Amino acid sequence: MNGQEHYRGWDCFDKMVELYGINEAMSFCKLNAFKYLYRCDCKAGDDDLSKALMYLEKYFELKSLRDAQST
């Protein structure tokens, strides 16, 4: 998501963590991955699968960050 012009230089996930906390951002990632997996056969196919993967990767990135902060 970072670098897209409509975000005006800030990362959407960073802002989400700042405003809602890391656990909520992780939930957002899981739910969005579900959405893209659920609709992939009816809408955008591989594009949806790619987006689901991106959200799952972001989930694990945030989880690692959270775990590192708790130690």
Structural domain boundaries in the chain: 5-69
Q: Choose among 69, 68, 65, 70: nearest CA to 26.
A: 65
**pLDDT given at position 66:** 95
Structure confidence by residue, pLDDT tens digits, 27-60: 999 999 999 999 999 999 999 999 999 999 999 9
Q: How far apart are CA 26 and CA 58, in angstroms?
A: 8
**pLDDT given at position 12:** 87
Q: How far apart are CA 41 and CA 61, in angstroms?
A: 27
pTM, two decimal places: 0.82
